[in-house]
Amino acid sequence: MFRLLRPLAASVTYTRWLHLLIPGAGYSVWMFISPESPWAPMVFAVPVGLVPGMRLAEGVQAQLLLAPDERGRADASISAATAATWADRWRTVLWLETRMLLAVPVGYATVWLSATAVDLVLTAAGNGPSDEWLVRGVEPHWWYALLTPLPLVALLALVVLSGRLITKAAERLLGPSPVQRLTALEERTEQLLERNRIARELHDSIGHALTVAVVQAGAARAAQDPDFTERALAAIEETGRDALDDLERVLRVLRESGTPVGQRPTLVEADRLLDSARGSGAEIDADVSGPLEQVPGAVSREGYRILQESLTNVLRHSGTVPVRVRIAVTGGRLELEVTNPLGAPAADPAAVPGGGSGLRGIRERAALLGGRAETGPHEGEWRVRARLPLDGIRAAP
């Protein structure tokens, strides 16, 4: 029983109710202007949803009203960012249509069921029912007061269910795209790696300083020599200052947001990988076509890592053999292919069950972007072929 009543005590139930009523207000104004065309707002939502900034506005509103956490902060499952791709824009259009479809019944129920409860109270008080609501045409009687909670219970149940439904829709339609999730994961991973490195440096620095201080203080007390004690104190002071400098540097780094995503290498810098492989003795035949600088950041960064892992596998398993590299931006996707002659069976990646962790990583990177990667023997050669959609959502055919 208490479990059923728990949503009524949650503030998010009423913020979701407000969120559902907001588009209903605009719909009501339109019905007052042109009641013969109730479908017009649904049509008007299409060009409005295609505006990139509309996704940001809807995301902020949904974060604050639909899914705030217990500390009043926004839920990360709903993103607040402008539409970066056409797929995001059409998802915004679908979100606006869904929001209006839910707002209309909730708005009507809010008005009609609330008015019905009031009418029941008036009927029970002997004033007689109105001619506008569900209980018109009945005789006044006190027991109508017992029915008063029923429309209110029905209204609250509808609000709770509709609020949960609109929240799920917001998470699906306004949630981060695969590219955004991958970018956030990259940022989080780099921040964790950087903090782990800093923690190790801090441990070494502070541990060294404390060790020096303890050893020097103990030696000075045992020596009973003023000159030695002065030198020991000077060493403790110098080591302590160095440790404080290290601590200040670490705290400054921790207060910062971390390395921006844009500073990581992309396929625009693919020449660095090719030159490095050539410097190792491999014969690289590269064919690069299409505007690499226009490839979205997440796709370009993952393409760089796929190329890097492919060239590393060639040098590790086959040595300095001729390698053909093809990078092309065409048909709304990035195509990347690396082929080389098969080496000795014992040294070839195909001999490793599952292709090795590096090849699994290539396939996983492609899958995260909605693409596909193929690795394995092909016509007497070892081939790595990846196809990545530029919007990071459509699966490559």
Give the SS3 label for residue 10. coil
Residue recorded with tokens 């760089």: 304
Q: What per-residue confidence (pLDDT) applies to 337?
A: 93
Give the per-residue pLDDT at 350.
Answer: 44
Long-range contacts of 216-222 (CB under 8 A, 24+ apart): none
Query: Using an 8 Å Cβ cutoff, are 146 and 154 in contact?
Result: no
Query: How far is 367 from 386, CA to CA, in rounded Å?
Result: 10
Residue 201: per-residue pLDDT: 59
DSSP sequence for 307-361: HHHHHHHHHHHT-S-EEEEEEEEETTEEEEEEEEE---GGGSGGGSGGGHHHHHH
pLDDT (0 to 100) of residue 326: 93
> Rounded distance, CA 101 to CA 140, Å?
37
Q: What is the pLDDT of residue 130?
A: 57
pLDDT in tens, the chain (397 residues): 567 678 887 888 889 999 999 888 888 888 888 888 888 888 888 998 889 888 888 888 888 888 876 444 555 678 778 887 888 889 899 999 999 899 988 988 998 888 888 887 877 777 755 555 555 556 666 777 788 888 888 999 999 999 999 999 988 888 877 767 777 777 777 666 666 666 665 665 676 567 667 766 777 777 778 887 887 787 777 767 767 876 776 677 666 654 444 456 788 888 877 877 776 567 889 999 888 888 888 888 888 888 888 887 787 777 678 999 999 998 888 999 999 987 643 344 444 444 456 677 788 888 888 888 888 888 888 899 999 988 754 433 3
Residue 322 β-bridge partners: 283
Check residue 133 and give its pLDDT: 54
pLDDT of residue 281: 64
Give the pLDDT score at 134. Answer: 55
User: No. of H helices and E strands in the chain?
Assistant: 11, 5
pLDDT of residue 324: 92
- Give the pLDDT score at 365: 80
